[in-house]
Amino acid sequence: MLDGLSTSLKDALRKLAGKTVIDRAAVDELVKDLQRALISSDVNVKLVMELSKAVRTRSSEEEPLKGMTVREHVLRIVYQELVRLVWASTDVKLEPQTVLMAGLQGSGKTTTTAKLARYFQKKGMKVGVICADTFRPGAFDQISTLCTKIHVPCYGSLQEKDALKITREGLAALKEQELIIVDTQGRHALEADLIREIINLNNLTKATHRWLVIDAALGQQASEQARRFHEAINIDGVIITKMDGTAKGGGAMSAVAETRSGIAFIGSGETIEDLERFDPDGFISRLLGMGDLKALMEKANEAIQPQDVDMNAMMKGKFTLRDMYKQLEAVNKMGPLKQIMGMLPLGNMELPEGVYDVTSTKMVRYRIIMDSMTPRELDDPSLINSSRMQRIAHGAGATPDEVRELLKYYKMMQRTLKGLRGASGGKFNMQRLMKRFSGMQ
Amino acid sequence: MFGGLKAKLHAARSRLGSSIQTVITAPGSSGTGTAPQVPVSQKESPNQSPSAPASPSIVNKVKVLLIERELIVSETDVADALSELELTLLESDVALTATDAIIAHVKKILVGKHRKIGESVDSLVVGALRAALLEVLGNGFNLLDYIRTHPRPVKILFTGVNGTGKTTTVAKIGSYLRKQGFSVVIGAGDTYRAGAIEQIGVHAERLGIKIIQHPEGGDPSAVLFDTVQYAASHKIDVVLADTAGRFHTKANLMSQLDKIKRVMKPDLVVYVDEAVAGNDAVIRAFEFDKTIGADAVILTKADMDSRGGAAISIAHTIGKPLMFIGTGQSYDDIAPFEPAQVVEELLGDS
C-alpha cells in the first residue's frame, strides 16, 4: 500500500541527498516534488500548500540542531510536517461499546461493518450488528448474509423505513452483546435530512465511537465531507477502504487531518477477514523511505554503547572480524540487519542485496564460529587457511563451508562499508547519526 | 456538479486576464514603439476601427500603431496565473497528469500569441480555456441515437470498481430508457456481493422491468447470456448487464469480465466511476479501458458537491465520451452529459 506515493517521495528525498549544496533552490525543488507526490495521491491541495509553506519557512528560519547538517535539518522538518498530517492512531479498546458507522454512498460501510464484527469477534467479544440502512435495496440482505456467515446476530427490518425506530429496537434486542455496530445508510454532507438523521442516531445510540468510512480513491472532496460529518457527529476515527486497488488514500489522510482523529482501520480486500489495524508508528518514515527513525532511535539508545561499535575505525577501512563480531552483537540487540539498514537514511546509496541475506539464526552461528578463532585470526582474517578453517569449524561444531561463508560475508561487509565511505565522503559518523535520530521526534 | 470548478475558473480567468492586461498597458503608456509589435493590414482585422478604410496617410499609420498594434504574450507573463489555474484544477480533482496536459495546452495557445490591443483580454483567455477543456472532454455520447441506429437488442455492459454505483445506475438508465419508449431487460450479473441480487431485484420490481437472475455465487456470464437470449426471443430493445464491482488489480476478476464480454458480446461497454474520485480515477479508467475496453463513461455521485475534475481526468486518460451523470438517489437523477454545454456553463459570464 502507498507504494506509489512512497516511491515518488523517496525520489524527491534522494534528489536532495544527492545535492552537494542545500540552498534555497534545492529546498524549493524538494518542496515542488513533495507537492506533486502528495497531490497525485489525493492529499488535499490546501494541506499540501500549508505543508510546503511550513517546510520552506522552517528550513530557512530555524537553526539546525547542533551537529546536524542542513540536509538532515531539512529532512527532519519534512518528516515532522508529514507526521502532523497523519496524526495518531485511534485507540480501539476491547470493552463494551457502540460504534456508529458513517460515510458517503458506496464507500463500503456495510462490508466494513461485517469486517469489524469479525475483527472484534476474533478478539473474543460478543458482537451484534444493527442495520439502520433503510434506503438502499438489498442492504439488509447484504449485512444479514454476511453476519450469518460469522454467526453474529444482526437486527434489521425489510419493511420498517424509520432508521431511528429500528435502531432503538435493535439496541434493546441486542443488549446482551458487548459491542454493537450500527451500519447506516450512505449519505453525503449536502443531504440535510440525512445529516439530521445521523445526528439523531448518534444521540440515540450514545455511540462510543463514530467512525467515518472513506474510500481510498476519494479525492479533494474528502476534506470537506469529513469536516461536515465531523461538525455533525464528531468523528473520532477514520476507516480507509478499498486499499487493495491502486488508490493512495490521500483523501482519507486529509479527512484524518480535518477531523483531528486517527486512522482506525484499513480495509484491503473483499473477504470478511481483510481488515487491518492501522499503525501510525513509522508510517511516514516508511513512506519516505527513511525507515522508522523513532523506533531506531529508541533501539539504538538502548542497544549501542559507544565502545561497542567503532564506526569511524570501520570507515577508515580497518574493518576486522573483531569489528564484525561487535557489530553483529549490537545488531542482534537491535533487530535484523535489513531493518537496521532500512532505518538508516542512506539516501541514494544502493546496498548489495546479499548484505541483508543474514538471518538472525545465521548471525548466532557466525558469532559462535568467531568465538573459536584466535585473537590473531580475528584481527587479520587473511591468516585463515584451510587447516585453520578445519580447526575453527571443529571447535564451533560447524562445517568448513560455514566458516568459508562467514569469511565471504565478512568480505562483502568490508566492501560495502568501503563503498559507503566513498559515497558519503568519509563523513559517515555514528555519533552524528544518533544525534539526528534524537533530534527527530 | 460543476459549481465549485466554475467559481474557481472564474477567479483564475480574471487573474489570467489581469496579468496579461498589465503586460499590455505597461508598454502602451510609454508611448509608441517600445512594445513588440506587428502591424497588420486593416483588412485582416476584425476589430475594425470606426473610420472607413482610407488611403494610407500619417493619420492611418498612427492609428495602426496605436489601435491595431499587436502584442506578444510571453511565457513569463502568464506563468503566475497559469500556476494558479493549475492549482484550481488540482483542487477540483483533475488528476495531475490531466492538469499538466491542460496547462500545457492553455500555455501553448496563449504564449506567443499576437494580441490586438482592441481585442478583449477576457475573450482571449476564455478562448484558450474553452479550447483546452473541449479538447479534453471530447464529444458527448447520445445513447438514444445509438440505440435507434443499431440492431436490437442493444447490449450494454456496465463495469467499474466497487462501490461506484453500477447497480443504481443500471436502474436509473432502465427507467430513463423506458420513458423514451424502449423495452428493457436487466441481467443481474453481480452474483458475488451479498445482497446485490436483491438490490437490483427490488429496483427492477419498482420500475416494472423484467430481470434475469441466478442464485448468489453463480456464473455471471451464464446470467448475462440468458438475459441476451431472453431479449432476443422477446424482441426487447435494450439489455442492461450489471456486473460485480472489481478492482483492476485483481487479474482473475478482470479475466472473468473478459469472459463475460466474450459470452454476451456487448455492443457498448460502459465504464462507471464516481465524480468524487481523485487521481486514482485515471489509473483505473486506463486499466479498465486497456483490459476490457470502454465505449462510454458514466459518472455517478455528482451531487456530492464535486467539482467535476474526475470527468476531465477520465476523458483525458481514455479519450472516451461521457454519456451520463448521476446526480442523486432517485431514479430520475440522471442526465445526459453534453460537453459543449458544460464548458459553456463553466466559462459563461454568470
The pLDDT assigned to B27 comes to 46
Q: For the segment B217-243, what is each residue's pLDDT rounded down to a tens digit?
A: 899 999 999 999 999 999 999 999 999
* Nearest residue of A to residue B244, measured between CA atoms: A270
ipTM over 0.85: no
How many whole angstroms separate alpha carbon B282 and alpha carbon A92? 35
Q: What does each of the 350 residues of chain B score in pLDDT, given as a tens digit?
A: 556 666 666 776 676 666 666 655 554 444 443 444 444 444 444 444 444 444 556 666 666 655 555 667 777 777 777 787 788 888 888 888 888 888 888 888 877 776 666 666 666 767 777 788 888 887 788 999 999 999 989 999 999 999 899 999 999 999 999 999 999 999 999 998 888 999 999 999 999 999 999 998 899 999 999 999 999 999 999 999 999 999 988 888 999 999 999 999 999 999 999 988 888 898 899 999 999 999 999 999 888 766 778 888 888 889 888 999 998 889 999 988 888 777 776 665 43
- Residue tagged 497559469 (cell numbers): B82
* Nearest residue of A to residue B206, measured between CA atoms: A137
Helix (H/G/I), strand (E/B), else coil: A337: helix
Question: Which one-letter amino acid corresponds to residue A411?
Answer: K
| CATH tag for A3-86 (out of 1.10.287.3510, 1.20.120.140, 3.40.50.20, 3.40.50.620) | 1.20.120.140
Report which of A398, A385, A410 is spatially closest to residue A323, judged by C-alpha positions: A410
How many whole angstroms separate alpha carbon A37 and alpha carbon A325? 42
Q: How far is B153 from chain A (nearest CA, A)?
A: 28
Chain B CB within 8 Å of residue A41 CB: yes
The residue ranges of every structural domain in chain A are 3-86, 97-284, 291-439
Are B312 and B133 in contact by the 8 Å Cβ rule? The answer is: yes
Helix (H/G/I), strand (E/B), else coil: B159: strand
Q: How far is B171 from chain A (nearest CA, A)?
A: 11
Enumerate residues 244 to 283 of chain A having a beta carbon within 8 A of any beta carbon in chain B. Answer: 244-248, 250-251, 270
Residue B265 zone, left/alpha/beta (φ > 0; ψ -120 to 50; rest): left
Between strands B184-189 and A237-241, the pairing is: unpaired
Neighbour order of strands in the sheet with B296-300: B210-212, B184-189, B238-243, B154-159, B268-274, B296-300, B322-326, B334-336
Residues of B in contact with A45 (CB under 8 A): 87, 90-91
Q: For the segment A380-430, what is each residue's pLDDT rounded down to a tens digit?
A: 888 888 899 999 999 989 888 888 888 888 887 777 666 555 444 444 444
Enumerate the β-bridge partners of residue B212. Answer: B187
How would CATH label the architecture of A97-284? 3-Layer(aba) Sandwich (3.40)
Enumerate the β-bridge partners of residue B273. Answer: B299
Reported as type and span, the H/E element at residue A212 is strand A209-215
How would CATH label the architecture of A291-439? Orthogonal Bundle (1.10)
* Nearest residue of B to residue A46, measured between CA atoms: B91
Domains defined along chain B, listed by start: 3-137 (1.20.120.140), 143-347 (3.40.50.300)
- To the nearest 10°, report the CA torsion of B229, B234, B236, B240: -40
Enumerate the β-bridge partners of residue B191. Answer: none
Name the pLDDT band for A262 (thresholds 50, 70, 90): confident
DSSP label at residue B149: T
Residues of A in contact with B314 (CB under 8 A): none
The pTM score is 0.72
> Which residues touch A71 (CB under 8 Å, ≥6 apart)?
A16, A17, A19, A22
Task: Give residue B33's Cα distance to chain centre.
Answer: 45
CA distances from A214 to A249, A339, B18, B177, B336 (A): 9, 32, 40, 33, 28
